[in-house]
A and B are shown apart, each in its own frame.
Chain A
Amino acid sequence: MKEKIEEIKNKSIKEIKELIDLKQLEELRIKYLGKKGELTALLKGLKDVAESQRPIIGNLVNDVRNNLETLISEKETELKERELNKKLEQEKIDITIPGNKLKRGSIHPLNRIIEDMEDLFVSMGYDVVTGPELETDEFCFERLNLPKGHPARDMQDSFYITDEYLLRTQTSSVQARTMIANTEKTPIRMITCGKTYRREDDATHSHQFNQIEGLVIDKKDAHVSLADLKGTLEVFVKKIIGANLDLRFRPSYFPFTEPSYEVDVTCFKCGGKGCNLCKGTGWIEVLGSGIVHPNVLKVNGYDPDQYGGFAFGTGIDRLAMFRYGITDMRYLYTNDVRFLNQFDRKDEE
């Protein structure tokens, strides 16, 4: 009996070592531990063993059985691991093949810069307002100290629909609208961005373009001054156009402000050394600005003796061209998808 047990033990251990898959392992388990297995048969045969020997033999068989079960379990784990590894090996893919993506969209460079400008001014307590593009002569000109026949209207040759209605030539129309709408005549801090239209079309002028306009009005005792305008535009230029650009305020003339200033910044292209873009001056004109003209305050319901402030405005198209290095203004309006697709990521901070 003992020999028989020993034989089964040795045989099964040998067989386990040799088998290579889970199926063979299961067969082995059945062969030894199944209902009709060899070890099971030995246990069943215990009744024929002498009673005194029975516990000894019984223990012996159980030890072999336990040992075998452990071995089978260990072998099972080993085989499962091996099979999984095999499967994983088979499932290996070419990770260099491109991922599955939706089509990628983009945001037009002009709106990118508009959003940045809006965020900047909102952070300084300005309200972002809007106004109509189909405007009346009254709001576009007359309420901005530009009566009919004023020579400065020549600078803004316009698209009229009727004698009274035109496509706005400047976002300044929103200044007048904001002042009129503010019936309480409380202080104003606003900007507006949007499309504007002038009757000219050439290599450097598009008949449709975009402007930003800002207006600050406060009580005289708040002393909103040219120095404040300078400081505000310094922030604007450095945040929106370029941190290392210098500004130059140059006295100029606009009917809606007095005094009026044009603001030049260091030439984007040559950095101030002088080139064809800046006509050798090292400066590029970017903004128009000034102290709100008393007539503009008066005609829009603010008493110029009690209120004062500043206004500024600029074309956005050129700023967008500079920021992204766009070489031709026409790219902004032809909407070639090879152009648009380039604006499909977030701007650097």
Chain B
Amino acid sequence: MKLSLNFVKDYVDIPENVSLKDLAEDMTRVGNEYDSAEKLVNSTNLVIGEVLSCVNHPDSDHLHLCKVNVGKEMLNIVCGAPNVREGLKVIVALNGAELPGGIVIKKSMIRGQESNGMLCALYEIGIEKKYLSEADKNGICELPKDAPIGEDPIKYLKLDDSFIDFELTANRGDLLSVLGMAYEISSIYDKKVTLPELKHSESGENIEKEFETIVETDNCSLFLTRKAKDVVIKESPDFIKNRLIASGIRPINNVVDISNYVMLELGQPLHFYDADNLGNKILVRMAEKNEKITTLDGIDRTLTEDDIVITDGKKPVGLAGVMGGLNTEVESTTKNVIIEAAIFDNVKIRKTSNKILRSEASNRFEKGLDPARTYMAIERACMLLEKYADAKIATGILKYDKTNNKEKEIKIEYQFINDVLGTNIPKEDILDVFRKLKFETKPEKDYVIVIVPTRRIDISIKEDLVEEVGRIYGVDKIVGKLPVVSMKMGSVDKTLRKIRHKMSNLGLNETLSYILMNDKEVKRFTCDEFEPLKLLDPITEDRNTLRYSMIPSLYKIYEYNKARENKDVCLFEIGKGFWNKNGTFGEDQKICVLMTGKYYNKIGYNEEINFYDIKGVTEELLDFLGYGNRYSFVMPKNIPQEFHPGQVAEISVNNDIVGIVGKIHPKVEENNVFVMEINLSKLLEKKVSKMKFKEISKFPVIKKDISVLVDKSISSQELETRIKKKAGKLLLDIKLFDVYEGKNIIDKNKRSLAYSLTFGDPAKTLNDDEINVILEKIIEDLAKSGIELRK
């Protein structure tokens, strides 16, 4: 809402010492933020001048050399405007003048001719072109013949206005009017509010005799009709035009401008119909399905049963609250006008305007209207039409009124206000706030009954009154303190945080990715069965689906870094994956890791990350979480096609698959990139035993190394399992310490694996012979499968 200062000053006195900025800040302090507070015309050093002579520039086909009388002196000014001519009264920017866009006027030479100033168009001094007539858009401003030379043109044109562009909250529909703003300002500075003049004369036959209004829908609660006859369509007076411009509305002609002026003034949108095109009836109803109307902007609209239409009894003549119909538009030839002032259902208007057009009018209907203002507005429109459009107002008014136009009475205890605010505001000060707000009160000892004026549709419960007291009394005066409540421990589950720190300590960068992706990406890197969760109304197709796996998210981040030549990308993220399984929606907490490039930061060590590095990170995480000895890496039954089929494993904890780790398929990614994902929701459900001290054996251990030559098809894990089984419980630990395949092994299908075995007995010192017996057993067992010791 752009508030014209000249406009609001008609209704409330703003103290002399309050600057524009002060007013804006004071309004902000009571809850009404502003975007900007500016003068309507921000140019300096302008005077009214008269062009005494105008000849063509000798070296230009469009410039003119003008002699301009500015009162104190005669100036030579070069001007390029097509409409400059002898005898014209003009706006002159003198040397030193500052115009919008940082332009400063200086004495200059233009193609060899001296120029001492500039003749200005209105848009050059700061009125946006969209508000101007065609003539003013294309040339310098032509002032009336009697404009006083040497005077300030801004004052003369009544453009000496300022405006504040407020960003209002959704509940304060009452502030979408100058009068509402006047009340708000009056409560800050404790001033009176003057109401607008409504008086006008009436003449001729009563409207009841010649016109009829029927309302056939509950979505219209109030509909007032009046008639203005013999209007003279012309330009509006300057004050109306300039106030519309300062409020952000383009002036059109006096009649249309008056409907906008009243809307700005009182917050009630009006609609004017050309009475001769409308006929003698208005019928308000819901539109029929696929009913058609051509709106003012010339566009054919197809309606639904949710749109409220104004009809002439047969066809639609207006889309209620949103836009009029073309067939009854007020034009330059219009003689008689039917005035509509109505209240329509805000939700219905909101729906229709979202479809068609969001306008100043629809915005006000959506926020809700005060019926008292509807009555005021129609009279005010008549008064202005009579005065500025020479209209004769027909006797009488047609009223359809189903509103409950009663003032609300709210009972509130003084103590309640102080309890909610945490204050000790005396009763007198509370009552003073209501007085400033122009709320009537019936004060009692412990409570007060507040009669809320109908303009304040936002106030309905006592908490709303607490807010009023708080904001007018001054929130700044309320001293902050910490709650005095019973002592209680705070709690937070730090599991995810600990995982985050663990992964960071393992050298990975934590990322933060978007969960929305393209529907084609969502099934990548997984064979799980689920329905993608698609948005009904995405912003772009690139982000139309909720992710399931986080791997595509991290892979995208990798690609982003790759494109910027960032090497050694090691990432992790903890986030959500979403699913729809047979109509049930859900989300899982997941962790995803991506690794590529170098992992160790050691001089001369250039080995690239391989499968075992990311597997190591995975094991570190599982061990850290307490799942040591309970996990294994198994060959997946179904391998997602984005994985290298020979370097991929499912992560199994307690024989339950919780994740996947592997290399990205070279067809997908030419570089060696490894990814891992674990479903943390699933993993963390598995209980972990308490961390507990185990007695350290007092007896020494015996270490034995064993190196075997095995078929490549036998996995290290298989071998380990066999060794463990044969070794029995004296085997405390088994560690693979070497893997060799190469030229020293003749059989190319074989490789050598070397294990270090640690034996011990918590009850006694072992001797070598006992262990050798066990070793023999192991070797014997392996030999059965053709596995031999490597010599």
Chain A residues close to B by CB (< 8 Å):
97-98, 100-108, 110-111, 115, 118, 121-128, 132-134, 149, 151-152, 154-155, 159-162, 165, 167, 187, 189, 195, 197, 199-201, 207-208, 216, 218, 220, 222-235, 248-253, 258-262, 279, 281, 291, 293-294, 308, 332-338, 340-341, 344
Interface: B664 (CB within 8 A): no
Given contacts A160-B536, A224-B485, contact A100 B601 (CB under 8 A): yes
Query: Which of B29, B35, B535, B599 counts the most chain A CB atoms within 10 A?
Result: B535
Interface: B14 (CB within 8 A): no
Interface: B146 (CB within 8 A): no
A220 to B485, CA, bound (A): 11
Interface SS of chain A: helix, strand, loop or mixed? mixed
Given contacts A149-B347, A160-B536, contact A103 B507 (CB under 8 A): yes
Interface: B439 (CB within 8 A): no
Instruction: Name the one of A100, A125, A231 contacting B480, with C-beta atoms under 8 angstroms.
Output: A231
Would you mind naming 17 contact pairs between A and B with Cβ atoms under 8 Å apart?
A100-B600, A104-B601, A110-B512, A122-B491, A132-B587, A134-B587, A159-B537, A165-B585, A167-B515, A201-B539, A208-B515, A216-B485, A228-B482, A232-B480, A232-B483, A250-B28, A338-B566
Given contacts A125-B488, A165-B585, contact A308 B420 (CB under 8 A): yes
Chain A residues within 8 Å of B483, by CB: 216, 218, 222, 224, 228, 231-232
Q: What mask results when residues 364 to 382 of chain B are scored 1 for a CB within 8 Å of chain A, else 0? A: 0011000000000000000
Interface: B523 (CB within 8 A): no
A234:B470 contact, CB within 8 angstroms:
no
Interface residues of B in 466-492 (CB under 8 A from A): 466-467, 470-471, 475-476, 478-492
A122 to B488, CA, bound (A): 10
CB nearest to B366 among chain A residues: A151
Instruction: Name the one of B504, B508, B546, B570 contacting A161, with C-beta atoms under 8 angstroms.
Output: B546
B536:A162 contact, CB within 8 angstroms:
yes
Chain A residues within 8 Å of B512, by CB: 108, 110-111, 332-333, 335
Q: A134-B586, A232-B483, A258-B466 are in contact. List 4 more A-B contacts (CB 8 A).
A: A104-B507, A118-B492, A122-B492, A334-B557
B510:A151 contact, CB within 8 angstroms:
no
Interface: B568 (CB within 8 A): yes
Closest chain A CB from B359 CB (angstroms): 15
Chain B residues within 8 Å of A132, by CB: 587
Q: What mask results when residues 492 to 530 of chain B are scored 1 for a CB within 8 Å of chain A, else 0? A: 110001001101111111111111100000000000000
Give the total number of A-B pairs whose CB atoms are below 8 A apart: 268
Instruction: Name the one of B366, B478, B481, B514 contacting A208, with C-beta atoms under 8 angstroms.
Output: B514
Instruction: Name the one of B36, B170, B543, B587 contacting A253, with C-beta atoms under 8 angstroms.
Output: B170
Closest chain B CB from A239 CB (angstroms): 13
Closest chain B CB from A197 CB (angstroms): 8
Interface: B538 (CB within 8 A): yes
Instruction: Name the one of A128, A160, A232 contacting B482, with C-beta atoms under 8 angstroms.
Output: A232
Instruction: Name the one of B35, B485, B493, B598 contacting A103, with C-beta atoms under 8 angstroms.
Output: B598
CB nearest to B508 among chain A residues: A105
Chain A residues within 8 Å of B463, by CB: 258-259, 291, 293-294
Instruction: Name the one of A126, A152, A207 contacting B543, with C-beta atoms under 8 angstroms.
Output: A207
Query: Which of A118, A122, A253 counts the most chain B CB atoms within 10 A?
Result: A253
Chain A residues within 8 Å of B486, by CB: 187, 222
Interface: B457 (CB within 8 A): no
B488:A336 contact, CB within 8 angstroms:
no
A57 to B679, CA, bound (A): 93
B480:A227 contact, CB within 8 angstroms:
yes
A105:B570 contact, CB within 8 angstroms:
yes
Chain B residues within 8 Å of A134, by CB: 533, 546, 578, 585-587
Q: What mask results when residues 7 to 33 of chain B are scored 1 for a CB within 8 Å of chain A, else 0? A: 000000000000000000100111101
B560:A335 contact, CB within 8 angstroms:
yes
A232 to B484, CA, bound (A): 11
Closest chain A CB from B85 CB (angstroms): 43
Query: Which of A98, A102, A293 counts the most chain B CB atoms within 10 A?
Result: A102
A227 to B493, CA, bound (A): 30
Chain A residues within 8 Å of B482, by CB: 124, 228, 231-232, 235
Interface residues of B in 536-568 (CB under 8 A from A): 536-539, 543, 546, 557, 560-561, 564, 566, 568
A181 to B626, CA, bound (A): 30
Given contacts A122-B492, A151-B367, A161-B533, contact A222 B599 (CB under 8 A): no
Interface: B419 (CB within 8 A): yes
Query: Which of B367, B485, B489, B509 counts the most chain A CB atoms within 10 A?
Result: B509
A115:B535 contact, CB within 8 angstroms:
no
Chain B residues within 8 Å of A248, by CB: 29, 476
A133:B515 contact, CB within 8 angstroms:
yes
Chain A residues within 8 Å of B572, by CB: 105
A97 to B604, CA, bound (A): 12
CB nearest to A222 among chain B residues: B485
Chain A residues within 8 Å of B491, by CB: 122, 127-128
Instruction: Name the one of B419, B510, B600 contacting A223, with C-beta atoms under 8 angstroms.
Output: B419
Chain B residues within 8 Å of A230, by CB: 422, 478-481
A207:B420 contact, CB within 8 angstroms:
no
Chain B residues within 8 Å of A340, by CB: 509-511, 571
Chain B residues within 8 Å of A189, by CB: 485, 488, 490
A225 to B557, CA, bound (A): 46
